[in-house]
Amino acid sequence: MFAVLDRFRLTYGQKLFLLAAVPLVLSAAAIAILVTNTSRQLAEREIDALEQQLIAAKQEELRNYVTQARNGFYFIYGAAAPDDQKAKDRVKQILAAMIYGDEGFFFVYDYDGNNLVSPRQTDMINQNWIGLEDSRGTPVVDELIRIARQGAGYHRYFWPKPSTGEDAEMITYVTSFPSWQWAVGTGVFIDDVVASVAAARAEVEARVQRTFLYISGITLGGLLLVFCSGIILNIRERRLADAKLQALTQRVFDAQEEERGRVARELHDGISQSLVGVKFALDIARRRILKGDERAEEALGKGIDHLSTAIGDMRRISHDLRPGMLDDLGLGPALQNLTDNFTTRTGITARFSTVVFHNRLSQDAKIALYRIAQEALTNVERHSKAQSVTIDLRGHTRGGTLRISDTGKGVGQHRSRRPNSGLGLRNMQERMDQLGGTLRVMSSKSGTIVEAEVPLTHLLPPDNTALIDQRASNE
């Protein structure tokens, strides 16, 4: 399971790319959805308005047809009695002859549902069509008669086209001849309106799809731009990282060579000279012993003194490389010993203080803080010309803090004279960066303060060793 998760673990560059790409894709998708919905809503309103206008034009046209037809035979209807069959026949003949266009005609139904006039569908004449419904289940004749009884009105339904016999939507205007109990009307097929509306909707959908494609293209271009920018930035960052790594490696090599040179000088100037003195003293003592000279004991004493000096130098060099007290007793006693040795060696007054805190520092934090204190005291000895140094170690709610302050002339007064004088500060900063801590250097003409703070994650639960460390550091 963990192997699978490790396989899909993202690199830093991939995370940055997702951080830039995901919001862009989501924003583009939201814009596309919003534009699509808005466009469709606006277009639907426009299409509905267009359909209403076309239907209104058709209705007005039908009403004019019926009005003109009524006016054409109203002189017959107006003068006829309700049972005047001859007048009715004359009006039916007139209406049967009134056909227009390819599909237009007039129809007549009496209130009982009998068809009296249907010039384009003569098979319907003289038959009762009460209950007739279209292919969608919409009542036809019953609804026409109901509208006629109320005066006049419009009705939409599907009806076979006389020319093809196929169902098409039709709109009808019907009026009433109340004295004869007739429903007279005419209708037009609105398949052209339906086709126009469908074409408009298809055009809208095509525009929406084009807009969606445009947005997708812009989004893809943005992703490519982000990707290319990420590659460029990644290459640039890699080059910078390689340059920094090369510089850091060179600094490490320089520090190693400097340390090796220092150890070599210490061995040559101290231990080597002492051992040479021991050799000469032993050689002199051997010759005097062979001669029976009483001064052999004096030569042996000098050899022992030289050997004691060599042993002391060896211990000092070993302590500088890695103080055993740091591992055995802890940071507090190690810093106290470092302070005492610094005062003894340089004559500069150094004072170490700390307070008991219940948590203990991690091994990495102890080594880093000790090396920072060591580096700071070295800078004080070499550059600051200070009269006193104060080292303070304490814990708090944010972690642990080491503070070294001196009364010297400040960092800025000597840094420009030596091109490599900033190496010690860089080493301090890099140690804090590895721990996730912070390093602050505050300098003025009256002195310098170096403050190193390790985070709370490097404070471990207390144990008996930590308590001994704290008691020893306070004695």
pLDDT band at 462 (very low <50, low <70, confident <90, very high): low
Q: Which domains, from first to last, does the chain contain? A: 80-189 (3.30.450.20), 324-474 (3.30.565.10)
Q: Could you give the C-alpha distances from 221 to 18, 209, 214, 231, in angstroms and in order?
A: 15, 18, 10, 15
pLDDT of residue 432: 87
pLDDT (mean) for 427-437: 85
Average pLDDT, the chain: 80
Among the listed ranges 137-151, 252-266, 335-349, 386-400, which one has the minimum average pLDDT value? 252-266
pLDDT of residue 427: 80
pLDDT of residue 202: 82
What are the tens digits of pLDDT across the range 14-55?
676 777 778 878 887 888 788 878 877 887 887 788 778 888
pLDDT of residue 414: 46
pLDDT (mean) for 122-143: 92
Does residue 320 have a pLDDT over 70?
no
pLDDT of residue 145: 93
Three state DSSP letters for the chain? CHHHHHHCCCCHHHHHHHHHHHHHHHHHHHHHHHHHHHHHHHHHHHHHHHHHHHHHHHHHHHHHHHHHHHHHHHHHHHHCCCCCHHHHHHHHHHHHHCCECCCECEEEEECCCEEEECCCCHHHCCCECCCCECCCCCECHHHHHHHHHHCEEEEEEEEECCCCCCEEEEEEEEEEECCCCEEEEEEEECHHHHHHHHHHHHHHHHHHHHHHHHHHHHHHHHHHHHHHHHHHHHHHHHHHHHHHHHHHHHHHHHHHHHHHHHHHHHHHHHHHHHHHHHHHHHHHHHHHHHHCCCCHHHHHHHHHHHHHHHHHHHHHHHHHHCCHHHHHCCHHHHHHHHHHHHHHHHCCEEEEEECCCCCEECHHHHHHHHHHHHHHHHHHHHHHCCCEEEEEEEEECCEEEEEEEECCCCHHHCHHHCCCCCHHHHHHHHHHHHHCCEEEEEEECCEEEEEEEEEHHHEECCCHHHHHHHHHHHC
pLDDT of residue 100: 82
Does residue 277 have a pLDDT over 80?
no
Does residue 466 have a pLDDT over 50?
no
What are the tens digits of pLDDT across the range 65-87?
888 888 878 788 888 888 888 98
Dig out the tokens for 437 from the structure. Answer: 């801590």
Burial (CB count <10 Å: 0-12, 13-18, 19+), residue 165:
exposed
Q: Which residue has the higher pLDDT, 111 or 385?
A: 111
pLDDT of residue 472: 46
pLDDT of residue 132: 92
Does residue 142 have a pLDDT over 90?
yes
Q: Which residue has the higher pLDDT, 279 or 153?
A: 153
Among the listed ranges 34-38, 173-177, 315-319, 464-468, which one has the minimum average pLDDT value? 464-468
% pLDDT > 70, the chain: 85
pLDDT band at 416 (very low <50, low <70, confident <90, very high): very low
Q: Which residue has the higher pLDDT, 302 or 369?
A: 369
pLDDT of residue 114: 94
Does residue 455 have a pLDDT over 50?
yes
pLDDT (mean) for 182-201: 84
B/e letters for 439-450, b = 16+ CB within 10 Å, e = fewer, are beeebeeebbeb
Cα–Cα distance, 378 to 431 (Å, whole number): 17
pLDDT of residue 423: 65
Does residue 465 have a pLDDT over 70?
no
For the chain, state the CA radius of gyration. 54
